[in-house]
Amino acid sequence: MARPASQSDAWRSLQRHALALEHERAEARERAEMLAALHRSFADIAMTNGPREIVERTLRTALDPLGFSRATFASATGRTGLPASLTLDGGELDESMSPGDALTGRNHDVGTRNDLSAPLVDCRGWYVVTPLEHAGRAHGTLYVDGHPHPAPLEPETSLVRALAAIAAVAIDNSALFADLQALAERDPLTGLLNRRAFDARAVTEIERCKRERRCAAYVLVDVDDFKSVNDSRGHAFGDAVLTRVARTLSRCSRPQDVVGRFAGDEFVVLFTGIDAALAYALVARLSSELRASGLKCSIGAALYPHTETALEALFDAADRALYRTKAAGKNGFLFE
């Protein structure tokens, strides 16, 4: 027996309502999953220290979970560590796709590819462009487009702005972290590594030499009669002497070598990835350059692995050679 028309209409209305509720529940689940994933991404960005890594994570977050197909960053400052421009398109990072001046200095804007103000000529659907700014410092601009929804969505545009804000704070924090790390690792007068930082780097380089079956030269440098220099010429002049020693050591070392100031008038150099003959030549050149700079220094050196293999034992051996140099008349060098 057929239902009356009023019952059929009511049944269809109930079915439509049930389907609408199910659709709303599905959208709510998707939105909740996206927000949870976005929360994780925001936390990852906030905990990242490298500026480039922060930019990469920001672009990846724009694609997943926010749902855009392309994201571009353009630097506003050319600051060290930040890419001048970086595009993530379909999962592939590309630094050659430079947006030029199209994005630099843009304020927050939302639009479609038909807008005359659209920043890119190949705009995909609708776009969001927003600056990365924090505490009055502009780091760059974030541009995203290619969202599957046909028209701009307010929640997504707000989340893009939040993403840019978090990235800007993370970039500022990474700079602060780098500054604090430098303060913790560097001697404030000479800019060289302090003893703790030198020892950490030296352990790594000794392990590298062990793997590659190469030698290293552990070199101690002590300024001769430095106390009398301070007493007769003053501490400002003494500081200038120490700074000249540091510059000479840095100039005579190679990028792979490690240079540090231990304390007072004592410096240390680790020449790495060498053989015994080159070790002797490098130390002889170092001694010659110090004298040519008007500096009188005694040098003691020990060779890894010929003399010792442990870092502390290398220091002790170089220290013995240093005192033999001083006993022999100073202003020269000896190997243990």
Q: What is the CATH number of the domain that holds 26?
A: 3.30.450.40
For residues 82-116, one letter each, b for 16 or more C-beta atoms within 10 angstroms of the residue's C-beta and e for the rest, the string is bbebbbbbeeeeeeeebbeebbbebeeebbeeeee
190 lies in a domain? no
57 lies in a domain? yes
What H or E segment, with its residue span, contains residue 133? strand 126-134
311 lies in a domain? yes
Q: What is the CATH number of the domain that holds 268?
A: 3.30.70.270
Q: What is the pLDDT along the chain (336 residues), one digit of tens a residue?
A: 555 667 677 767 767 766 766 666 766 677 788 889 999 999 999 999 899 999 999 999 999 999 999 999 999 876 668 898 999 998 889 987 777 678 887 899 999 998 888 999 899 999 999 999 998 889 999 999 999 999 999 999 999 999 999 999 999 999 888 778 777 889 999 999 999 999 999 999 999 999 999 999 999 999 999 999 888 999 999 999 999 999 999 999 999 999 999 989 999 999 999 999 999 999 999 999 999 999 999 999 999 999 888 999 999 999 999 999 999 999 999 999
Cα gap 21→27, rounded to integer Å = 10
Same domain, 25 and 167: yes
Same domain, 139 and 214: no
Same domain, 165 and 16: yes
Same domain, 207 and 68: no
Cα gap 112→118, rounded to integer Å = 7
Same domain, 152 and 215: no
One-letter identity of residue 188: P
Same domain, 153 and 274: no
pLDDT of residue 280: 96
CB 319 within 8 A of CB 220: yes
Domain boundary at 159, 183, 207, which?
Answer: 183
188 lies in a domain? no
Q: Exposed, middle or buried, 147 (CB in 10 Å: 0-12/13-18/19+)?
A: buried
189 lies in a domain? no
What domain range is 304 assigned to?
Answer: 195-335
Same domain, 170 and 208: no
What H or E segment, with its residue span, contains residue 177? helix 154-185
Length of the chain: 336
Same domain, 302 and 243: yes
18 lies in a domain? yes
pLDDT of residue 273: 93
Domain boundary at 131, 150, 183, which?
Answer: 183
Cα gap 164→58, rounded to integer Å = 8
Same domain, 205 and 162: no
What's the token pair of residue 55?
């930019």
90 lies in a domain? yes
Same domain, 21 and 106: yes
Q: How many domains does the chain have?
A: 2
Name which of 71, 127, 61 is nearest 97 in CA terms.
71
pLDDT of residue 251: 95
Same domain, 236 and 273: yes
Same domain, 250 and 205: yes
pLDDT of residue 200: 93
Quote the radius of gyration of the chain (alpha carbons, Å).
32
Name which of 134, 132, 138, 140 is nearest 102 in CA terms.
140
Cα gap 128→68, rounded to integer Å = 10
pLDDT of residue 26: 61
Domain boundary at 149, 183, 217, which?
Answer: 183
Interstrand relation of 297-304 and 333-335 (parallel, antiparallel or unpaired)? parallel
Helix (H, G, I), strand (E, B) or coil at 324: helix
Task: Report DSSP letters for 230-271, one per residue.
Answer: HHHH-HHHHHHHHHHHHHHHHHHS-TTSEEEEEETTEEEEEE
CB 328 within 8 A of CB 334: yes
Question: In terms of pTM, does the model score above 0.75?
Answer: no
